[in-house]
Chains A and B, each alone.
Chain A
Amino acid sequence: MEEFKLRGTNVIGIELIVGENFNLQKVKSFLKEKEQLLKGARFIISVENRELKEEELEELLEFLKGLSGITFCGFKTNVKANRELCIKFNVPCDLLTEKSEGGRASTEEVKIVRKTLRSGEKVTSTGDLIIMGDVNPGAEVEAGGNVYVMGSVRGFVRAGIGKREGEVRAVYFEAPRLEICGKTAEFERKEHYINFRAKVKEGKLKIDHLKRGA
């Protein structure tokens, strides 16, 4: 097996997969070499079957900070100790568990935002996202998992990034566009929903609501 490889994930961006024979210096020089390629992309590192040392993670994070054009979004790993280390360093990290059908891995990040997102603000989460406020026009929300908004959605919500199933719920919905698991729904102006729920299941986007206005 190669030491590491790059692959594009369908939505998140570019993923670097490193395996058992992880070598920090090689990863660094590899990334330096590919910096141009990675420019502007969102980037995650997937560490498989290898436990990271604390000083390795520290050095890697320091190095990633120095790559200005790259948006580093966090780690993915199948080793529990790595996730614990990441939490210590306050870096997002998804733990991949054995393939469990349906439901999400319980170890995924759940982020709670206790404010209204105003125009120009953006919140992301590798897992689920709960917003205790509104998502105003011009604000953006991106989550690897589901998005729950305890308020009105008038901005752009992207949920279930890189997943097959996901849902978005909102008390009130009046946004021009919505994306779940790569599937997009567009809405007419003034089209609005109360008790809105949109979900993707078996590749189809379905919308439920209590009341619809136009």
Chain B
Amino acid sequence: MADKVICVTSGKGGVGKSTVTANVATALAAKGYRVAAIDADIGLRNLDLVLGLENRIVYDIVHVVQGVIPAEKALVKDKRTKNLFLLPAAQTKDKSAVKPEDMVKIVEELRDKFDFIFIDSPAGIEEGFKTAVTPADTIIVVANPEMASIRDADRVTGICEAMGKPEPKLIVNRIDPKKVARGDMLDVNDVVEILSLELLGIVPEDPNMVSYINRGEPAVLFEESIAGKALRNVAERLLGKEVPFMDIRVEEGFLEKIKKLFGGS
């Protein structure tokens, strides 16, 4: 499979890299694939919280790099989804503790034992980002529909290009159909037009996402979550299936229709 080692990155922080990683990895594992998720955000570890595995961590990625334990042994098994494993980041070290070649080595160790390996990249475009991207053969760029995020995603795309990586795929995260309809938020089309990348998913804003994350339960496991559904679709597309994009437009309200009728915009 070409899309085996997948790095999720964004440039800007807080756009939902870890959430996307945790959810898509969970969705694939729930379908029976063996999935490893590597948290490459050394010093600011988060992926364990999103997956609800913070109390099970014994070893982390820095132990693996130091040779304390082989990568496979350091993996934390997910408590809900079997087939899903997490290699946590170290919280007490910083980005310099893992070099690109270390990450390549870890991925090589795990490659034959998994169907998918996800790498959750740190924000920024420095060393840590390069470490996360180097072993990847597929890159997913997560962007929010706002200019700062788009510009950063564009920068990251340019750097990946310069590193000789294949063109990243795009997930537009946290789009709020109500705000788009009111003209307060950029449309998916605006984002895609600027970045001109293959669209892998459109994830609507989900008011319940915070509580899923706080409970450590990935949203993809819940039928009622719209963001969960969108992220399940992303997993399907990674498997090569053609899934139509969800229609997330809101119906125009009665008042807006009247306003439009009378020439207001």
Contact = CB atoms under 8 A, between A and B. Distances in A.
Contact of A120 (B147, B158, B195): B158
Contacts of B150: 137
Contact of B194 (A120, A121, A154): A154
A154 B154 CA distance: 12
Interface string A106-128: 00000000001011110000000
A165 interface: no
B161 interface: yes
B196 A119 contact: no
A140 interface: no
A145 to B, nearest CB: 25
Interface of B: 147, 150-152, 154-155, 157-159, 161, 193-196
Q: Is the interface of B mostly helix, strand, loop or mixed?
A: helix
B72 to A, nearest CB: 38
Contacts of A134: 194, 196
B194 A138 contact: no
A118 B152 contact: no
Interface of A: 116, 118-121, 134, 136-139, 152, 154
B196 A116 contact: yes
A138 B196 contact: no
A187 to B, nearest CB: 15
28 contacts: A116-B196, A118-B154, A118-B157, A118-B158, A118-B161, A119-B151, A119-B154, A119-B155, A119-B158, A120-B154, A120-B155, A120-B158, A120-B159, A121-B158, A134-B194, A134-B196, A136-B151, A136-B154, A136-B195, A137-B147, A137-B150, A137-B154, A138-B151, A138-B154, A139-B154, A152-B193, A152-B194, A154-B194
A118 B162 CA distance: 11
Contacts of A119: 151-152, 154-155, 158
A138 B153 CA distance: 11
Nearest to A118: B158
B210 to A, nearest CB: 30
B194 A137 contact: yes
A136 B151 CA distance: 8
